[in-house]
Amino acid sequence: MTFPDCKFSEAGAYVDAYFDEYSKAAASVDRARLADAAEVLKTAYEAGATLFVCGNGGSASISNHLACDHGKLLATDTDLLPRVQSLAANVEIITAIANDISYDEVFVHQLKLQASAGDVLMTVSSSGNSENVVQAASWAKDNGLEVISMTGFDGGRTAQLATVNLHVGGDNYGVIEDVHQSLMHLMGQFLRQSRMDESLIRDRKF
C-alpha cells in the first residue's frame, strides 16, 4: 500500500495521516545500524578524515544541511573539529562537470579529486538508484572509503554498496526525506552531547 492511497478533503486529516506515516517510517530504522553509522562518523571525525555527502534535489538540501550542522555544531563545546563537505554545494563545479563530462559524474568526479582512503562518503537518496549517487558510492567502496547510505523505498543499489545502510521503510518521498533529515540531526546531536561536559548539556540549545 502506498501513501496517500485516496483523496483527502481536509488538510487536518492529511496532517494526521502524514504524521502517522512519519512515525511508522521513523520506527522502521534499524537502531543497531544507526549506532554503527554514528561510530563510523565518530571514528572519521576523531581521525581528521573528511566526510563527503551527496544527494539530488531535496536530498541535496539534506546534504548541505548536514555539512552545516556536523561541521559547525559538533565543534561547539566539544574537542571535535569535523571535516565535512557536501558535494552538492558548489554549483559552479557541479554545472561544469555536468556540462563538460556527464551529470552522472558530478559527485564521483569531485571524489576522485579530493577523497582519500580512510575518508567517508554518505549518500542520501530515497530511491537509492540515482546514477550519480550510485557511481560515487561504487567508487568510494573501491577506493577505501566507508559508505553510509540513507535510503527509502526498496533501498536500491546504494543500499547494496554501503558499509552501513540506514533504510527508511516508506514509499512517500516527503516522509522518507523528513526521516533522513531527522537521522542527520540526531546523529550529529548524539555525537555532540557524547563529547560534551555533562554540566554543559542542560545549558545548551541543541
Domain limits of the chain?
31-197
C-alpha cell at 12: 487536518
Q: Residue 129: which residues within 8 A CB-CB, separation 6 or more?
A: 156, 157, 158
Q: Give residue 10's pLDDT band: very low, low, confident or very high (50, 70, 90).
A: very high
Note the pLDDT of residue 205. Answer: 86
Taking 80 as the threshold, does the pLDDT of residue 1 lie above it?
no
DSSP line for 133-191: HHHHHHHHHHTT-EEEEEE-TT-HHHHHH-SEEEE---S-HHHHHHHHHHHHHHHHHHH
Note the pLDDT of residue 59. Answer: 98
Class of domain 31-197 (CATH, top level): alpha beta
- How much of the chain exceeds pLDDT 90, in percent? 97
Q: Give residue 78's pLDDT band: very low, low, confident or very high (50, 70, 90).
A: very high
Mean of pLDDT over the chain: 97
Taking 80 as the threshold, does the pLDDT of residue 99 lie above it?
yes
Whole-angstrom distance, CA of residue 140 vs CA of residue 130: 15
End-to-end Cα spacing for the chain: 36
Provide the residue type at 5 as one letter.
Answer: D
Reported as a single tens digit per residue, the pLDDT across 135-193 is 999 999 999 999 999 999 999 999 999 999 999 999 999 999 999 999 999 999 999 99
Note the pLDDT of residue 40. Answer: 98
CB of 63 closer than 8 Å to CB of 182:
no
Whole-angstrom distance, CA of residue 45 vs CA of residue 83: 7
Whole-angstrom distance, CA of residue 36 vs CA of residue 15: 33
Reported as a single tens digit per residue, the pLDDT across 55-68 is 999 999 999 999 99
Taking 80 as the threshold, does the pLDDT of residue 98 lie above it?
yes
Q: Give residue 112's pLDDT band: very low, low, confident or very high (50, 70, 90).
A: very high
Mean pLDDT of 103-116: 98
C-alpha cell at 108: 564521483
